[in-house]
Amino acid sequence: MKPLRGVLNPRTGLRSGESVVERRGGPIVRRDITGAERADICGQLFVKGWRATGCEAEAVRARIGQDFNDAIQEGIQ
């Protein structure tokens, strides 16, 4: 996944980053969210949604530089 860089500031033309709490109880900071962090967040939300319906779910991710088609060919389970 592409990193999330935040909204574009029309005056400066720079991206402001996303609001992130880096540790429990810590301050809110604005920074880019990496592609790996974004994939982890999406996976956690996916699992949470399916578990809320009563299904068993587990999120998996292909290795960096691969997509799921490559991972399936290697035999990911």
pLDDT, tens digit, for every residue of 57-75? 988 777 777 777 887 787 7
**Predicted pLDDT at 76:** 57
The residues, ordered by sequence, that sit 6+ positions from 50 with a Cβ below 8 Å of its Cβ are 56, 57
Domain identity same for 28 and 45: no
Per-residue pLDDT, averaged over 27-53, amounts to 92
Q: Do 68 and 44 share a domain, yes or no?
A: yes
**Claim to verify: residue 28 and residue 41 sit in the same structural domain:** no
- The answer to whether 27 touches 33, Cβ cutoff 8 Å, is no
Residue 31 is predicted with a pLDDT of: 94
**44 and 72 fall within a common domain:** yes
Both 16 and 41 in one domain: the answer is no
Number of domains in the chain: 2
What's the CA gap between 50 and 47, in Å, rounded?
5
Q: Are residues 12 and 49 in the same domain?
A: no
Instruction: Name every residue whose Cβ is closer than 8 Å to that of residue 56 and which is 6 or more positions away in sequence.
Output: 50
Q: Are residues 2 and 16 in the same domain?
A: yes
Range of the domain at 64: 35-77
The CA-based diameter of the chain, rounded to the nearest angstrom, is: 50
Give bridge partners of residue 28 from the DSSP assignment.
21
